[in-house]
């Protein structure tokens, strides 16, 4: 139920803000707005405001919305109201009205990010877990336990890293941009730092997913190698492990953190799914013990990994990332720009085949993320709303004829040539735009189903 509610609230809010942007600028430009609708299908609510010609409507299917303005191209307009019609407005007014919807979504994202920055977000401190074996991070000399104080990509100047999530965001941007990443790392906060360069420029990145961080090698923040909750019917319980056991060594190899322990557990079965007994040296209640642990095989993709049926690794150390009134807005604008630019780059790379179409998400995935973020708390839900609002704003600015960006493309032609696009070409472009949009919707729905089934 929380997924449905969170999805409907998110969709309704983002659509309402988008259409309200069109509505406000249309009214400011002197255009008569006939209807402001959220959703399609059978109207559930209708109302008008005193002194306003606009009918406000809430419909049964909240999968879109529209602002219907007086327009000679849609219906006859009385001569006395011709100056109130959209199509009779100067070019600059029509551009402003059309662009206002996507810009409203981007401004909403700035506002949401700003609120999050003001209230603060609890995030893991930027201390690195043991890198994935054979990864870029391991080859660069990282071993785990390093505190990252600063980072920079390309030729940029280093700036402070405030949390592990901040570091992951920067790594994502650098990898997708094909730039190397420089990290200032130390053995503890405030200790002398050394510079480590991660050569991310050579990565052929097609998906911004978990596999990207596996290749980079920086997957999780540092945690202690302790055993958490133990499932009663798992391999951990069978071996005699208990919650709170601290693991020192596996098969004589010392552990640096929880990530390394998880790697050893996963490697506890061979390619045929056969489990291999491991010797664990642990400390329980201050006393050393030695246990025999046999991870159980579990399918993962086309291979096998080991599982022990227990939580592995302590909770990471956390910090509250909070910004002041002005800095919070500045950071909000910066994050909105970064997400917008990253979205555009990914779309461009998908068009030329450098990024996978699997990055396109549809309503099922959005609904799933809405429910998960809402269950995590208000802050996570606000971040989700900001991200979707940016995506909606950027998507609507694309030069597809059925989107706001398509209309702006028409107005650009009109501004350059002094004449509007002919009706014949308008019809052709609209049909092409509908075909492209339907194709994208089919891909998004296919990706949704594949994720859910997989």
- CA 92 vs CA 88, 102, 293, 369: distances in Å: 11, 16, 72, 38
> Which residue is it, tokens 């071996």?
239
State the Cα–Cα distance between residues 36 and 69, nearest whole angstrom: 9
DSSP for 379-432 reads HHHHHHHHHHHHHHHHHHTSS-TTSHHHHHHHHHHHHHHSSPPPHHHHHHHHHH
In angstroms, rounded to a whole number, what is the distance separating the alpha carbons of residues 131 and 213? 10
**Axis-axis angle for helices 91-119, 378-396 (nearest 10):** 160
Which of 19, 81, 224, 427 does the annotation list as catalytic? 19
Give, in degrees to the nearest 5, the angle at Cα 409 between 407 and 413.
Answer: 115
Partners of 36 in the β-ladder: 56, 67
Give the span between the Cα atoms of 3 and 15, in whole angstroms: 18
CB 247 within 8 A of CB 279: no
Distances (CA, A) of 178 to 174, 193, 202, 203: 6, 25, 7, 7
What one-character DSSP code corresponds to residue 221?
B
Is residue 19 annotated as a catalytic residue, yes or no? yes
* Dihedral pair phi/psi, residue 143, rounded to 5°: -125, -15
Distance in angstroms (rounded) separating the CA atoms of residues 105 and 392: 7
Q: What is the dihedral of CA 159, 161, 165, 171, to 10 degrees?
A: 50
Residues classed as catalytic:
19
């Amino acid at each position: 139920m929380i997924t449905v509610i969170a999805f409907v609230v998110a969709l309704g809010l983002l659509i309402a803000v988008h259409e309200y942007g069109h509505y406000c600028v249309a009214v400011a430009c002197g255009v008569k707005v006939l209807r402001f609708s959220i959703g399609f299908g059978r109207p559930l609510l209708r109302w008008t405001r005193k002194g306003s010609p606009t009918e406000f409507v809430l419909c049964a299917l909240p999968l879109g919305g529209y602002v219907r303005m007086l327009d000679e191209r849609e219906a006859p307009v009385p001569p006395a109201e011709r100056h109130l019609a959209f199509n009779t407005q100067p070019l600059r007014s029509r551009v402003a009205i059309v662009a206002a919807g996507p810009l409203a979504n981007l401004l909403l994202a700035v506002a949401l990010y700003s609120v999050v920055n003001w209230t603060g977000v609890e995030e893991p401190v930027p201390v690195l877990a043991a890198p994935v074996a054979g990864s870029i991070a391991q080859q660069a000399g990282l071993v785990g336990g390093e505190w990252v104080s600063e980072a920079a990509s390309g030729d940029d100047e280093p700036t402070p890293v405030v949390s592990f999530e901040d570091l992951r965001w920067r790594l994502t941007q650098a990898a997708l941009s094909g730039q190397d990443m420089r990290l200032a790392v130390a053995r503890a906060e405030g200790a002398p730092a050394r510079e480590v360069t991660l050569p991310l420029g050579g990565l052929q990145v097609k998906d911004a997913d978990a596999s990207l961080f596996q290749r980079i090698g920086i997957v999780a923040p540092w945690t202690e190698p302790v055993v958490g909750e133990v499932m009663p019917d798992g391999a951990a319980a069978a071996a005699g492990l208990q919650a709170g056991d601290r693991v020192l060594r596996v098969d004589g190899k010392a552990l640096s953190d929880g990530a390394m322990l998880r790697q050893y557990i996963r490697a506890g079965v061979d390619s045929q799914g056969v489990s291999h007994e491991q010797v664990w040296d642990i400390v329980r209640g201050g006393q050393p013990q030695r246990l025999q642990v046999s991870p159980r095989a579990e399918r993962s993709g086309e291979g096998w990994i080991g599982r022990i049926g227990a939580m592995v690794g302590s909770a990471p150390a956390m910090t509250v990332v909070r910004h002041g009134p002005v800095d919070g807005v500045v950071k909000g604008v910066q994050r909105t720009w970064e997400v917008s630019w990253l979205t555009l780059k990914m779309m461009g790379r998908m068009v030329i085949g450098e990024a996978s179409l699997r990055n396109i998400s549809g309503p099922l995935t959005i609904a799933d993320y809405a429910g998960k973020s809402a269950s995590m708390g208000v802050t996570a839900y606000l971040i989700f709303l900001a991200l979707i609002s940016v995506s909606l704003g950027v998507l609507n600015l694309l030069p597809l004829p059925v989107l706001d960006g398509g209309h702006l493309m028409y107005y650009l032609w009109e501004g350059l040539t002094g004449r509007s696009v002919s009706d014949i070409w308008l019809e052709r472009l609209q049909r092409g735009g509908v075909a492209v949009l339907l194709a994208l919707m089919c891909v998004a729905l296919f990706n949704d189903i594949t994720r859910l089934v997989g």
